[in-house]
Structure 1
């Protein structure tokens, strides 16, 4: 902080003014002349301004807006919604057929598995309960002239 609570004033410098240098009119190049077909030159208009100056230039034709296209009787959004509904119904019908097909295929595979289990179970039952000399579940082995020497079987 400063003792008198005021910041120091910067030193004043002299102000310099720069003026642009205009180009003399003789230094400007003349505009090129473009050949134009007769009858295609637009009309030239001159206007006198309130201060007495005259401005000359080509007349500009006003831009005409394009004619508005008539709107259809039915909006595009309504047509898109209707087409989307028809497509959704078609997909739903297809999905119903697909789920019906999957349910039928599942039932068919289940029946094939049950049929295989019944056939295999029947074959196992026939093998177990057939009258092929096996009774009571015991096995009879007839050994003739069997010789055991040093824990080896020679038959």
Structure 2
């Protein structure tokens, strides 16, 4: 408040009235009009507010979400697990063949060693027990009759 104003009287102010100014058209008059297809003209909707006012405007169609890509019937994880299992089975099969090969090779080498021992042992036996075998530098003892008396040899 100002010092000269009386506190009980209201201050009078001037009322200003504003009138709307029309906007110029957005499309120049000389521009050609494009015909609009009847299906693309949106529908006009009117809504009555609770206080009795009516609001009229174009209906806005809700935005449709982008279509979601369809999921494949089988997930990628399941495919990867299945491929890993198939690879594991292939490796296990190969390892089984490898162990079978090693076992067969071991049995074959064992049989070769036994065969060599039998052949070499037979050759040695023939050399020892042959009647007409000549040994260089050997001494032959022919014992015809031996008598043992009181742990003493009498020949």
The two structures have a TM-score, normalised by structure 2, of: 0.41
The two structures have a TM-score, normalised by structure 1, of: 0.41
